[in-house]
Amino acid sequence: MEVKDKIVIVTGAGSGIGAATAKHFAKYNATVIVSDIKKQKAQTVVEEITKEGGSAVAIEANVANFEDVEQLIAKTVDQFGRLDVIVNNAGIGPRNMAKTGEYTLEDWDSVIAVNQTGVFYCMKLALQQMMKQGGGNIVNIASLAGLKASLNNLSYSASKFAVVGMTKSAALEYATKNIRINAVCPGYTESALLEKLLSVRPDMDQMLKSVIPMKRYGQADEIAEAVVWLASDTTKFITGQTITLDGGTSL
């Protein structure tokens, strides 16, 4: 992976896919800004990276807060002089799974604020910095739920469809500016979101696996590998794409 010495921000990097992605970038000798709404979780990931000889710092940020994102980008540039890659991974699911007519306003507002508006904030400010420095790379974490219908999950599905659309629109806008923008769409992956779902509905475990041709969930490391690949100089002619990692579920 050609990401050596790149300055990389990963949001929501305190656990799950975000943590795995931060560790993978560090493994390939990038400098990683581990960002999370919970500073201690981010710091724990930093300690794991530095223990293995990698380079990382923790910056607390709530991506749903524009001022937090401004500070995240500013602190990164102040310390390292540039921003080569941002991985917009921070995301949440609804507290309650419900049909559209019964969906709560709280679940709509909170999920859209993080998963959609948060990605917009990060893209907007990262793009401004990347234009100043003459290039960069953005990888957004969407979802299979951003490509196919997802029952009783309106805000999450809407936000991830939006991420796919924002990825494609921005990629077209900045294709001549040495800025590439792509997305990955994980299927059912072992993560905090999946654990939360199965804790409420343990019976869904076998049902979910039954619709995955590979008959297993994805691993965070498998998603991270794809993210680092898209962010690397190996993929210089790829932009505006959504890479689906779902064990064949979309088939």
Instruction: Please check whether residue 196 lies inside any domain of the structure.
Output: no
| In a domain? residue 197 | no
Residue 208 belongs to a domain: no
Active site residues: 156
- Single-letter residue type at 42: A
Q: The pTM is what?
A: 0.95
> Does a structural domain hold residue 231?
yes
Task: Judge whether 30 lies within some domain.
Answer: yes
Q: Which domain holds residue 170?
A: 7-189+218-243
Residue 126: give its domain's CATH number: 3.40.50.720
The count of structural domains within the chain is 1
Residue 44 lies in a domain: yes
In this structure, is residue 123 part of a structural domain? Answer: yes
Residue 20 lies in a domain: yes
| pLDDT in single tens digits along all 251 residues of the chain | 699 999 999 999 999 999 999 999 999 999 999 999 999 999 999 999 999 999 999 999 999 999 999 999 999 999 999 999 999 999 999 999 899 999 999 999 999 999 999 999 999 999 999 999 999 999 999 999 999 998 899 999 999 999 999 999 999 999 999 999 999 999 988 877 777 777 767 777 887 888 899 999 899 999 999 999 999 999 999 999 999 999 999 98
